[in-house]
Amino acid sequence: MDLTITELAPKIESGELSPVELTRHVLDLIEKRQPRLNAFITVTAEHALAQARQAEQEIRNGHYRSKLHGIPYAAKDLFYTKGIKTTVGSKIMDDFVPDFDCAVIEKLSAAGAVMAGKAGLHEWAYGITSNNPHYGSIRNPWGLDRIPGGSSGGSTSALAGGLCSFSLGSDTGGSIRIPASFCGLVGLKPTFGRVSRYGVFPLGHTLDHAGPFGLTVSDTAEVYRAMAGGDSRDESSVHRPLTQPKFAPEPSLAGRKIGVPQNFYFGQLHPEIEAGVRKAISVLGDLGAKLIPITVPDIEEFNTVARVILLAEATSVHEKRLRERRGDFGADVRALFDQGRFVRAADYLNAQRRRRALLDGFNELLSQVDAIVTPTIPVPPAKIGQDTLVVAGVEHNVRLATTRIVRALNLTGLPLLSVPCGLTNENLPIGLQIIGGLWDESGILEIGHAYEQATDWHTKHAPIATE
Amino acid sequence: MTVKQAAQAWQFNIPEDELDRIAPVVEDVTAALERVLDRDLSTTDPLPHFRPTHS
């Protein structure tokens, strides 16, 4: 069954497809594939069936809420869900049951969506492999011996594995874009402040964003629309009108200016990824976009700045737990939290002061172009347990190589979209990252949609999803 | 002060083997930041607003 929202919503609205039957179908697939993918920490079958029954009743009574009504989804297990365990991928919170829904879950419930389960993640959302010592390694549907990326790896494993129609993630240093790219999905990190983080367990207070994953750009836009909006309970969120993306039936980018960086982003790339991304950029040109060479600020510098800020902020969230339950942390995240204890207050503040320069640099570029395109990740997904990989004859640490392109951009708060744009010779997905101006989610979604219309990468599915 | 001295002074209670592994990483990151700030941070650079997208 085609699980895209675009395909399912009209059938649900017309009564042709029962939300209860759809939910049962998805729960059956989860039962079959979960042992191989390990995408979920908690499958919320009873909750999902109750929501589906309510949706069916409401639609039958003429109360169709939105295109998400009756649509099944997975939420990363750091979105607080009332009465449903929320572990944040940790042992320490393995029995934590929130007594309220986070803002995003409230909004999706109001839209009528059906939550099928809580998806696994890298412990505390602090890592890119989703190899979780407490809940097991999450597997990439495109290659079961590969990482799905992280930290939102369960959300993309579930979606690319055909176990839901959309999913939710969070992105502090790439945790939406990395797993989207590795699992051949669309992932949107909205502008900082666009989506409420009320009830989303934090990692880095000034870097965290919540956002959606979809099978297509239009599906992702639909979920984003439902999630977005200011919230007085989250001081960092902003009440600001939402512009709707205009998706033309015929793909065209005529009149758009797209910046193509000449420095940093195309260095140290896996050759098949470079070829895939350059081909994608040429498609944007064929669609009428004017491709403009640009020079971006010193991203390596800002990767350092972002790293220091995240080390300090993440440790500020966890230091008490680290003192009291040190042995209950996985070794990799414990090492990161320990590193954060050594960041001096003056260094943290000076890193924050330096941060402004990156945003100013990108704002200047984005006053000359409508968007900037780069690869999402410079390397293909590593094998589970692999610590290093070789690109162009040089050995790299998997974590640093994977985050190299995505990390610094979280400093800017700019909206970022990853769309699938190819497959490597080993049949592993490649992603194209589209960087937009502040609050211009519509612009990057429109560019992503036009690209998607002109290509067929979004129609390729992971082997397990077609069983 | 070295990383190990700091860990002791601040009573972090990090086991010796774990401290051995993270010490070089902490030193690298600190040195990299120091280079960045020495080169590029101006006295007049302000602290950004809590919401970096507001300005």
Its ipTM equals: 0.94
What would the mean pLDDT of B26-30 be, rounded to a whole number?
Answer: 96
Q: Are A24 and A53 in contact (CB under 8 A)?
A: no
Residue B52 has its nearest CB partner, among A206, A326, A334, at A206
| pLDDT number for residue A391 | 84
pLDDT digits (tens, 9 = 90+) for A170-198: 999 999 999 999 999 999 999 999 999 99
Q: Do A353 and B45 touch (CB under 8 A)?
A: yes
* pLDDT score recorded for residue A173: 97
The answer to whether residues A191 and A415 touch, using CB atoms and an 8 Å cutoff, is: yes
Q: Which residues of A touch B46 (CB under 8 A)?
A: 353, 356
Which chain A residues are Cβ-neighbours of B6 within 8 angstroms? 342
Which tens digit of pLDDT belongs to each residue from A361-408? 999 999 999 999 999 999 999 999 999 998 878 899 999 999 999 999
User: Average pLDDT of chain B?
Assistant: 89
pLDDT of residue B53: 60
**Looking at the predicted structure, is the pLDDT value of residue B51 above 70?**
no
Query: Residue ranges of chain A with pLDDT lower than 70?
Result: none
Q: Which helix (H) or strand (E) holds A371?
A: strand A371-375
Q: What is the pLDDT of residue A199?
A: 98
pLDDT value for B45: 86
Residue B54: pLDDT band with limits 50, 70, 90: low
Question: Per-residue confidence at B55, pLDDT binned at 50, 70, 90?
Answer: very low
Q: Catalytic annotation on A85?
A: no
Question: What is the pLDDT at residue A317?
Answer: 97
Q: What are the structural domains, with CATH classification, of chain A?
A: 5-227 (3.90.1300.10)
Backbone φ and ψ for A371, nearest 5 degrees, come out as: -160, 165
CB contact under 8 A, A349 and B47: yes
Q: B6–A311: do the CB atoms touch at under 8 Å?
A: no
Catalytic site residue A282?
no
Classify strands A257-261 and A290-294 as parallel, antiparallel or unpaired. Answer: parallel
Taking the C-alpha atoms of residue A10 and residue A216, their distance in angstroms, rounded to an integer, is 16
Q: Which residues in chain B (11-50) have CB-CB distances under 8 A to chain A?
A: 12-14, 18-19, 21-22, 25-26, 29-30, 32-33, 36-37, 40-41, 45-48, 50
Would you call B29 and A304 a contact, using CB atoms and an 8 Å cutoff? yes
